[in-house]
Amino acid sequence: MRTIASLGPLRSKTVIVRCDLNVPLADDAHGGKVITDDGRIRASLTTIRELRESGARIVLVSHLGRPKGAPDPQFSLAPVAARMQELLGTPVAFVGETVGDQASASIEALQDGEIVLLENLRFNPGETSKDEQERSAFAAQLAKHADVFISDGFGVVHRKQASVYELARLLPSAAGRLVAAELEVLRRLTEDAQKPYAVVLGGSKVSDKLGVIAHLLERVDSLLIGGGMVFTFLAAKGHKVASSLLEEDQLETVRGYLSEAERRGVRIVLPTDIVVADSFAADAEHEVIPADAIETSSFGASGIGLDIGPESARSFATEITDAKTVFWNGPMGVFEMEAFSHGTRAIAKALTETAGFTVVGGGDSAAAVRTLGFADNEFGHISTGGGASLEFLEGKTLPGLEVLS
C-alpha cells in the first residue's frame, strides 16, 4: 500500500486529506452543537501535523452523520473545525460548502502549512451515490484544485464513495498515518496474534458479528459473548430469554458456530448471570438472574436483559487478563445507563490490566471506554474503524484500501 513518502516532497503542494471526523454531537445550552467525544479528531492529527511540517497546503474533507444529500445545519462540520483548531494550536479555516466558488477561493488562497476544512461531504448527493458516474463527477470537483490525495479516514475505507474511492483514482494517492496504523493492528490480529487470543463481542445484534465470528474461529482460543447478541446464543442453547433482544432467524446459524467452535477446541464463553429489568429505561427496576433462567425473574416473560451480571463480569475479566491478545468490539450492556454499565466497565478495566496486546474495536466500544472515564493510552489501540474494522476481520476486501495498492 502506498505511503505518504511515496508522494515525494509536498512543500507548496495542495493535499486533499479524507479524514473521518464523524464525531458525536449534542445540543448545547445556546442552541448550538457540542462535541461529546473528540477521539476521531485527535486520531487525525498525526497526519495533519506531518503535512504541516512538510509545508503542504492542506484541504481536509469528511462526512458527519447521515444527512440526505443536502445541507443540514445539525450535521455541519463547523464545531469540528473549532475543536481541531484548539487541538492543533493553529488556525483551521472552515468553508461552508464542499465544492463551489467559496471552496475554490479558500483552497487557492492557502499558503504553505495552512489548513482548510470543507463542509460535510454528504451534503452533496454525489458522495454516496450508487451511480459511479455521479460519484466520479463529484470526485473530479473535489480534485480540481489538489495535487495529491491522502486517505486517512479508516472508518470509511469499506465504502465505495466519491471521496474514498474515486478521488484516490483521480490523483496521486497514498494512505495516511492513521490508516496505516489501523491496518497494521488489524493484520496483527488476523495474521500474527500471540496466544492465548481472546475476542470479546457485544453490541445489540448477532447478525452484525456473524462474519467476524466465522473468520476468527480458526484463529482464536476463546470468544466471550455479551450485549444484546448474547440472547440469541442463549436461545440457541435452549434457554428462554423472556423479552430480551432475540434474532430468531439466526438461531440455526449460531448453533452451527457453537458446533464448529467445539470441533475446533475454541471456547465460546457465555454469561452465567444477567441483569434483567422490567423495561428499557435508566430507572427501571432490575435484578440479577442466572442466564439459563431469565424468565424466573420478578418480571417473568416481560423481563429484558440489559447487561451481563457481576459473576459473568468477573469470569470475563479473568479470561481477558490471562490472554496475550485481546480484541473487543461491542458493549456488554446498555452502558449509557448507569445501572446497566457495570459489565462494560469491567471489560474495559480488565483490558487496562492485562499485559497482553489489547484492541478496542471502535464504534460503541470506543465511545463506551471514554464515557466510562478510561483514557485512550490505557489500551494498546483504540480503533476508529467500527464497521471497517469488522469487515477487515471478516476477510472482506475494502475498496478504500484496494485502491491504494
CA distance 44 to 154: 10
CB 205 within 8 Å of CB 178? no
Flag whether 158 is marked binding: no
- The residues, ordered by sequence, that sit 6+ positions from 180 with a Cβ below 8 Å of its Cβ are 1, 3
CA distance 377 to 174: 27
Catalytic residue among 13, 18, 33, 40: 40
Flag whether 362 is marked binding: yes
363 counts as catalytic: yes
Flag whether 187 is marked binding: no
Among the listed residues 61, 300, 303, the one whose alpha carbon sits nearest the alpha carbon of residue 166: 61
Flag whether 300 is marked binding: no
Q: Record the cell numbers describing residue 378, joined without a space.
A: 490505557
Q: Record the cell numbers describing residue 16, joined without a space.
A: 486533499
CA distance 294 to 178: 43
Helix axes 177-191, 39-53, angle to 10 degrees: 120
205 counts as catalytic: yes
Strand pairing report for 14-18 and 173-175: unpaired
Q: Record the cell numbers describing residue 374, joined without a space.
A: 478510561
Sign (positive or negative) of CA dihedral 232, 236, 241, 242: positive
Flag whether 400 is marked binding: no
Flag whether 171 is marked binding: no
Flag whether 342 is marked binding: no
Among the listed residues 116, 141, 139, 119, the one whose alpha carbon sits nearest the alpha carbon of residue 128: 139
Name the residue type at position 324.
K
324 counts as catalytic: no
Flag whether 117 is marked binding: no
- What DSSP designation does 398 have? P
237 counts as catalytic: no
Flag whether 8 is marked binding: no
Position of cell 496486546? 357
Flag whether 122 is marked binding: yes
Give the end-to-end CA distance of the chain in Å, rounded to a whole number: 4
Flag whether 329 is marked binding: no
- Cα–Cα distances in angstroms (integers) from residue 262 to residues 199, 215, 227, 265, 315, in the given order: 16, 15, 22, 5, 20
Flag whether 163 is marked binding: no
Q: Record the cell numbers describing residue 228, joined without a space.
A: 444484546
Flag whether 265 is marked binding: no
Flag whether 210 is marked binding: no
Q: Record the cell numbers describing residue 168, joined without a space.
A: 484516490
Other beta carbons less than 10 A from residue 196's beta carbon: 16
Catalytic residue among 363, 380, 385, 386: 363
Catalytic residue among 205, 219, 255, 349: 205
Flag whether 365 is marked binding: yes
Sign (positive or negative) of CA dihedral 68, 69, 71, 73: positive
Binding residues for (2R)-3-phosphoglycerate, by number, are: 40, 122, 159
Active site residues: 40, 205, 363, 387
**Which residues make up each annotated binding site?**
20-22, 40, 63-66, 122, 159, 209, 305, 336, 362-365
The binding site for substrate consists of 20-22, 40, 63-66, 122, 159
Q: Which residues are annotated as a binding site for ATP?
A: 209, 305, 336, 362-365
